Amino acid sequence: MSNSYDVIVIGAGPAGYVAAIRAAQLGLKTICIEKWRNAEGEGVNGGTCLNVGCIPSKSLLDSSYKYYEAKNQLGVHGISVGDVSIDLTAMVDRKNKIINQLTDGIAGLFKSNGVVSLFGNAKLLSGRQIECVTHDGKTQILTADNIIIATGSKPIDIPVARVNGATIVDSSGALEITETPNRLGVIGAGVIGLELGSVWNRIGSKVVLIEAMDDFLSIIDQQIAKETRKIFTKQGMDIRLGSRVTGTKVKGKEVIVTYKDSAGKETKEVFDKLIVCVGRTPYTEGLLSPDSGVNLDERGRIFVNEQCETTASGVWAVGDVVRGPMLAHKGSEEGVMVAERIAGQKTQINYDIIPNVIYTHPEVAAVGKTEEQLKQAGESYNVGVFPFAASGRAMAANDTDGMVKIIADAKTDRILGCHIVGPSAADLVQQIAIAMEFGSNAEDIAMTVFSHPTLSETVHEAALAVNGHAIHMPNRKKRG
């Protein structure tokens, strides 16, 4: 194996493997180093997303929803299925098969694009050198003209609820549960907590989400957040805001959680299983030598500029390990941008138009500015809202919870944001993301012909409603 490359990529998650493939496509001699090992101790690509994140969680979300739908919702369609049961071991096995298929697929993509794959722990030294200790214990020094750091993130551990892998697990351990807890506690009611909580709520657990923040999903548009909380509460999830966990105690096969509620009252709850989902932190452990020249910011992220260049010449960083939302698609696009900039292209990313999704049911999706952000900035805007309850297609599918909200500039009508809770929200919001990238205004969407009957007609009606022209609902007065 050669020790000199055009590009060395550290990390083979969505940011890293995409960067490596694109660099190789552009004619750059590229190697990608990944430290991840599977349960059998074998090196695998894919990072958190494919192994213990996006993909496996969506597998469990889809499996659990199919079970819930068969048990509770098919009767309205005149379908009788009798007793419905679920085999959790089979559900987890299916998830693992999907993981293996996708991680093997990355290995195939590396081979077909000429990317060299190496499994081991990498450390950045000075002078664009990498010290790699491979999984078989061998140490080698690699050099490159450019190095791309894509080491991702890991779950945050909190002292009051130390993960033990049995009664207390993090988001990764939650993907391996094969027995339904009667009572499940989740610390954190953010994206990960809601997704994992909804899996077990559908399967039959009594789910309690303990959230320290006073506001529910404070980072999203609050009209959508309030509607989302109402829907999840109706589904049976117990969301306790303003509640800070002060301690946990494992007693046999149970865990006792102590927390102070929003009124300052100390409360205790007993759970069969506790999932800790309080966020993620950039993974830089053992990554940087003191003389690497790469600086971290105040939150432990690798400091980069708009083009993902670090403070060390020829060293770049992308994905969860740098500023911005921890989203696989954001990291992937950064990986492509950096590879193309290394090759001499002037690629840029529009960070204002990055969709964000919570894959519950219904889904929650957003792109662009929230109404709260625009109010704070003192900007003048108009809002159009349309409920799925008024959609013929949603009615036919018996899936009418939620709404579409579009916000546009009051003077130019240019779309500033779109926020959705409802069926297929992830796919619907992408329509507006594309429109925003092309600088469209609400009238452009309103004048576009949409197929009938489709869920996307809710987007059309919301765009019409921005300027008081909605057809299938009363129009509210425009903002000035």
pLDDT tens for 298-321 read 999 999 999 999 999 999 999 999
Q: What is the pLDDT of residue 356?
A: 98
Asked if the domains at 4-155+281-342 and 356-466 fall in one CATH topology, the answer is no
CB 67 within 8 A of CB 205: no
Element (H, E) at 119: strand 116-125
**What tokens were used for 391?**
């959609």
Give the Cα separation of 119 and 32 in Å (integer).
8
CATH number of 159-278: 3.50.50.60
3-state secondary structure of 186: strand
Q: What local confidence, expressed as pLDDT, does residue 2 receive?
A: 76
Q: What is the dihedral of CA 262, 156, 185, 177, to 10 degrees?
A: 170
Nearest CA to 257 among 208, 202, 204? 208
**Residues of the chain whose pLDDT is less than 50?**
479-480
Q: Which helix (H) or strand (E) holds 5?
A: strand 4-10
Q: ω into residue 387 within 30 of 0, thus cis? A: no
Closest CA to 205 of 90, 64, 63: 64
Top CATH class of 4-155+281-342 equals alpha beta
Where are the domains positioned within the chain? 4-155+281-342, 159-278, 356-466
CB proximity list for 127: less than 8 A, separation 6 or greater = 143
The architecture that CATH gives domain 356-466 is: 2-Layer Sandwich (3.30)
Q: What is the pLDDT of residue 476?
A: 78
> What integer pLDDT is reported at residue 477 of this predicted model?
65
Helix (H, G, I), strand (E, B) or coil at 464: helix
Q: For residue 188, which amino acid is it?
A: G
Q: Identify residue 22 by its one-letter amino acid code.
A: R
Considering the candidates 452, 460, 469, 472, report the single residue annotated as catalytic: 452
Is 469 among the residues known to form the active site? no
Percent helix, strand and coil across the chain, each to the nearest 5 = 35, 25, 40
Q: Half-sphere exposure (CA, 13 Å, Cβ side) for 398?
A: 8
Q: At what angle do helices 191-203 and 222-235 cross, to 10 degrees?
A: 20
